[in-house]
Structure 1
Amino acid sequence: LLSYGLTLKAVAWLTGLDKMTVKSIHKSLLLSKFTTDGKTLIKPERQAKYLAIDEFKLHDGHKYATTIIDWENGYILYLAHGKKKAVVFEFMDHVGDEWMSNAKAVACDMNSDFEEAFKERYPKLDIIYDRFHIIKNFNDKVVSEIRKDEQRRLAEEGSPEAAKLLKNSRYILMSKRSTLVQKDEDARKGKLVSTAGEIFNTPEIKAHGGNEVWYDELLEENKLFFTIDLVKDLLDQAYNSHDEVEMCVRLEEIID
């Protein structure tokens, strides 16, 4: 049941077992399948040419874990606590030099620890910044910061209405137009974003419209946002390209 994507809670409800009992059984099955003695991980059977690595927060929000996958099939190759160089070194020791020497590239975010660790041992390995993190980095470091600077500038220059237009506009400016169009369509259909809750007396929330109109108003009112929109679009086109020459042209257009 768990292999079909059901949660521990769902399996416990279907089987009549306690959730912790289901978790214990699942853990035992995983240990028997992926370790040799309940502790030592079995090495990957398939040689992966392209790897991907990323960290994620654990349930308490203050600790992290790192996962390394085979980029071509999505299989998890390694999973460990932490998000530092040590995790990468442990993985490389686990798979061995021969296995790593046949890997061609690794996709990661801009976590310098990951990149430095791979390059330290295997300098010929190509490091790829994946599209998601490139766009996220642009949104966080450029779009978000410029929005705050512009809102502050307009307020200081005595343009409260223009500054007010930028309030809560972070999501609007970071989104693609196609996303905003879909949000407006959801609003027209009355799509629910959140159902009402009786325990905490939370109201029903429906998708709200006017997203694309607000987006156009922001671009029209501020030439800087219009420029950012062009750069964001070119960046998206570049990373959606499957042709190296086309990608280079798009990136050069951004620089120009």
Structure 2
Amino acid sequence: MHAQRKPRCGVCGRPAPGYDASPGRLWRHLALGQTIFWLHYAPRRVHCREHGVRVERVAWAAHDSSFTRAFEELVAWQAQRLDKSSICRLLGINWRTVGTIIERIVEERLSPGRLEGLQIIGVDELGWKAGHKYVSLVVDHLRSRVVWVGEGKNEETLDAFFDELGEERTKELTHATMDLSAAFSKAVGNRAPHVRKVFDRFHVQKLANEALDTVRRQEVREQAGSQEGKALKQSRWALLKNPWNLTVRQGEKLSELKKTNQTLYRAYLLKESLARGMDYVQPKRASEHLDKWCQWASHSRLAPFAKLAKTVQRHKDGILAYVETGLSNGVVEGINNKIRALSRRAYGFRNPKAFRAMILLCCGGMEFTPPLPVAA
């Protein structure tokens, strides 16, 4: 291998005067079958005005990397498709090396243009390390890809996204879909007050299901040992499922509850009525329905639904935005499911930086072109 005519700093790439020579070193390259190829070269050290004494830049590898760019390109391409064990076996490297290469190549190849032209974004949080740690995701709805990942799930986390986005690009945003998180809602309201917040119906109905299940558990405790208590057995899914998905047995269970437990059946009707309110296509009719529903729930003598009525009233504008636009967090939830599958590949996410790199690698629209064979 021959050095460049004029050495350059390995960090910034600017031409710099030579400082001294360094011992020869090896770079791991691609393999041919079971035969591994190594590149050997004795790089010079240069004296950069900005970075001081550094090893010169070489054309075949990134700075401070022991692998060629072609090899790292292949690792990244495989990491998008294979589990950790398969990559380690195919390439003859350990799993820590896979994680290190992913972090480096994502940092190098992450496009600054990913934040350009954002109009409709989705915001959500995702737990990792058994739910003890969280990262927040910002998804571009129009391109269905993750554009930003940050550690934590509070207001300050999303503030960091807006800091990176900048005022000019923030002005281009029109809608933001999210769950009913107070932190995310506050951050969007403070940093982008012109953006229409859209609260996903899935999360609203999830709260209604939770309120219904709370009422069911209270009834089970209060009527334990009685004939009415026996009728509550195996009623959970009959209450929570959509009416059109009920089995014959579950339909019979609902009919039985209507006769034996008016309290629980009233909670069921409240849950179904809230869902119907979000089925309207006219925002005015949906608004009227939600107002009536909140009044009914507030006077239902069911504490979980009275609490939910306050939540719905507080977030009514965002819920109506869903009715008006049809936007939901479905794209974001789909990406979240993909990320959960990625976390189970066991790449050794010891820190949020590694987890962030893996998310952006597989869900950020990054493309790689490793030197693969072409069919004749």
Q: Which TM-score applies when normalising by structure 1?
A: 0.71
Is it true that 1:154 corresponds to 2:217 in the alignment?
no
Structure 1 match to 2:163: 93
Shift of 1:211: 3.9
* Bigger relative contact order (CA 8 A; separation at least 6): 2
Unaligned runs of 5+ residues in structure 2 are: 1-76, 297-376
SS at match of 2:177: strand
Q: Do the aligned partners of residues 105 and 162 (structure 1) sit closer, same or farther apart at CA in structure 2, a change above 3 Å counting?
A: same
Deviation string, structure 1 residues 22-79 (Cα, Å, up to 9, x no partner): 33333333222216xxxxxx35244222221111211232111111111233211211
Structure 2 match to 1:7: 83
Is it true that 1:144 corresponds to 2:183 in the alignment?
no
SS at match of 1:44: helix
Structure 1 match to 2:283: 244
Contact 2:135 2:150 in 1 (8 A): yes
Structure 1 match to 2:273: 234
C-alpha separation in 2, matches of 1:54 and 1:241: 25
C-alpha separation in 1, matches of 2:81 and 2:90: 14
C-alpha separation in 1, matches of 2:89 and 2:180: 41
SS at match of 1:96: helix
- One-letter code of the match for 1:112? A
- One-letter code of the match for 1:31? E
C-alpha separation in 2, matches of 1:254 and 1:47: 39
Q: Do the aligned partners of residues 45 and 116 (structure 1) sit closer, same or farther apart at CA in structure 2, a change above 3 Å counting?
A: closer
Q: Do the aligned partners of residues 33 and 147 (structure 1) sit closer, same or farther apart at CA in structure 2, a change above 3 Å counting?
A: same
Instruction: Between 45-54 and 102-111, report the one with greater CA deviation.
Output: 45-54
Structure 2 match to 1:124: 194
Structure 2 match to 1:30: 106
Contact 1:234 1:253 in 2 (8 A): no
SS at match of 1:48: coil
C-alpha separation in 1, matches of 2:245 and 2:92: 42
Structure 1 match to 2:181: 111
Q: Which TM-score applies when normalising by structure 2?
A: 0.51
Q: 1:158-237 maps to which residues of 2 (within 5 A)? A: 160-167=226-233, 169-181=235-247, 210-237=249-276
Q: Do the aligned partners of residues 246 and 54 (structure 1) sit closer, same or farther apart at CA in structure 2, a change above 3 Å counting?
A: same
Structure number with greater Rg is 2
Contact 2:212 2:271 in 1 (8 A): no
Unaligned runs of 5+ residues in structure 1 are: 36-41, 185-209
What is the alpha-carbon root mean square deviation over aligned residues?
2.9
Shift of 1:229: 3.1
C-alpha separation in 2, matches of 1:83 and 1:122: 18
Structure 1 match to 2:35: none
Structure 1 match to 2:133: 63
Q: Do the aligned partners of residues 108 and 169 (structure 1) sit closer, same or farther apart at CA in structure 2, a change above 3 Å counting?
A: same
Shift of 1:241: 4.3
Contact 1:44 1:95 in 2 (8 A): no
Contact 1:70 1:77 in 2 (8 A): yes
- One-letter code of the match for 1:34? L
1:51 to 121, 131, 145: 121
Q: Greater helix share, 1 or 2?
A: 1
SS at match of 1:61: coil
Contact 2:116 2:169 in 1 (8 A): no
Shift of 1:13: 5.4
Shift of 1:143: 0.5
Q: Do the aligned partners of residues 111 and 132 (structure 1) sit closer, same or farther apart at CA in structure 2, a change above 3 Å counting?
A: same
